[in-house]
Amino acid sequence: MIFETLDTYGHEQVVFCHNKDAGLKAIIAIHNTVLGPALGGTRMWPYQSEAEALNDVLRLSRGMTYKNAVAGLNIGGGKAVIIGDPAKDKSEALFRAFGQFVESLGGRYITAEDVGIDVNDMEYVYRETEYVTGVHQVHGGSGDPSPFTAYGALQGLLATLNRKFGDEDVGKYSYAVQGLGHVGMEYVKLLKERGAKIFVTDINKSLVDKAVSDYGVEAVGLDEIYDVPVDVYSPCALGGTVNEQTLPRLKCKVICGAANNQLANNEIGDEVVRRGILYAPDYAVNAGGVMNVALELDGYNRERAMRMMRTIYHNLSRIYEISDRDGIPTYKAADRLAEERIEKIGKLKLPLGRGRTRFQGRVRGS
């Protein structure tokens, strides 16, 4: 049924990667390369089955196509997953074997960090292939993309506050932030700098304690976060947290956060509209990280990256305009914006060399 599934999702290529000696079992999914080479991170996770891993990589890679298109990038969408426990299964051999598979695709897929992967792991991948982003600054890369993801999410929040309330005064409003990883903690910092009232939760108690100590936020239980009366619910951890069980409990007027796949399904997205809640489409809000690493293709510049993050405000504003224009929920408007761009660019007769990977200013070596 794999080809039938690919027809449904619209993928161009799926590669199964196996190296017994290195213990590598991985899947690379290239969804769409109309705008350029497919770029998306590699996730390492102890999937319960190969079918679960395949479903995850197909879903995530399709999401990257839409994220990159809405972000205005000249790159397509792809993703990779490595089946394994990042706490105990990592090794140099495993990541170098994976790097060889990435190299074999000749630039059709460019990888980066994702869940379970850090910049040190990418160092090993980078020894085998240049088709890596998010490499350490010593190589001319951009390093950890988390601060840029958080800053981009702030730009999306500003556009959303303006849409819902008619102003951009972050400090006037209250926030329930779910998840305090690298992105979530930085997002909390940015909110606090602007005087916001913030409630937080995370499965890791030490991170909650740090947020309380460093930023003066109020901690609530993992399940209680849905019941807090706030203006904005900001999911910054796992996906699917806006679902049949949680949506009736939410007391917010806005949903805007950095997590992927926040809505459990399209029906929930429709119900969000009926309840008068403004949803900021997740992949438009959290595009700052991929914007940042994509700049490595032409030679990384931090000032240029920060300027690019601010375009997220414009992207969200455009999505809200399409929502009004076509009378559709914002999650559908985001998809429409992406699809319109892909269709229009796909019809252009562009010169040879479109999408060529350059990586100017990069240094490889041990």
Tell me the two tokens of residue 307: 């300027």
CB atoms inside a 10 Å sphere around CB 30:
24
DSSP per-residue string spanning 96-125 = HHHHHHHHHTTTSEEB-B-TT--HHHHHHH
Contact 310, 155 (CB under 8 A): yes
* Residues forming the active site: 79
As a whole number of angstroms, the distance between CA 263 and CA 5 comes to 22
CB atoms inside a 10 Å sphere around CB 248:
10
Angle at 261 between CA 259 and CA 262, to 5 degrees: 65
- Residues 168-173: contacts with CB within 8 Å, 24+ apart? 170/194, 170/195, 170/196, 171/195, 171/196, 173/197, 173/230, 173/231, 173/232
Q: What secondary structure letter does DSSP report for 291?
A: H
Contact 174, 165 (CB under 8 A): no
As a whole number of angstroms, the distance between CA 362 and CA 107 comes to 16
